[in-house]
Structure 1
Amino acid sequence: MAATTTQPMGSLPSGLGICTTAPDVFYLPELIFGGLVWILVASTHVFLPNPLGWVMFVSVFCFVMTFLWMIFFAAGVHKSSSGWATADFAYHSLAALFYLSAGVDLAFVTIQLEPVASFSNIYHIDIAAVVFAFLATLLYFIHAILSAIRWKHF
Structure 2
Amino acid sequence: MASSNPLPSGTSVFTTIPDIFFIPEFIFGGLVWTLVASTKVLIANPQGWVMFVSVFCFIFTTLWFLIFISGANKSSIWPTLDVAYHALAAFFYLSAAVVQANVTLGLQQFTTVFFKEYQLDIAAVVMCYLVTLLYTIHAIFSAMRWKNSS
TM-score tier after normalising by the smaller chain length: over 0.9
Following superposition, which runs of at least 4 residues in structure 1 exceed 2 angstroms of deviation?
A: none
User: Residue by residue, what CA displacement relative to the aligned partner does 1:5-42 show, whole Å, maximum 9, x if unpaired?
Assistant: xxx8x711000101000000000000100000000000
Instruction: Summarize the alignment of residues 29-40 of structure 1 with structure 2, pairs less than 5 Å apart.
Output: 29-40=24-35
Structure 2: how far apart are the matches of 1:153 and 1:49? 47
Q: How many residues align?
A: 145
Q: Deviations over 1:36-70 (max 9, x none)?
A: 00000000012452000000000000000011100
Letter in 1 for 2:12: G
User: Which residue of structure 1 aligns with residue 36 of structure 2?
Assistant: 41
Structure 2 regions of 5+ residues with no counterpart?
Answer: none
In the other structure, the counterpart of 2:76 is 82
AA of the residue aligned to 2:11: L
Moved more, 30-39 or 44-53: 44-53
State the TM-score, normalized to the length of structure 1.
0.91
Two-structure CA RMSD over aligned residues (Å): 1.3
Distance 2:89 2:30 in 1: 14
Identity of matched residues, %: 59
Where does structure 1 lack aligned partners over 5 or more consecutive residues?
Answer: 1-7
d(CA) in 2 for partners of 1:94, 1:49: 27
Q: Does 1:142 align with 2:129?
A: no
Which digits, 9 at most, give the CA deviation of each residue in 1:72-127, with x for residues without a partner?
A: 00000011x11000000000000000000000000000001012125510000000
State which of 85, 95, 108 in structure 2 corresponds to 1:101: 95
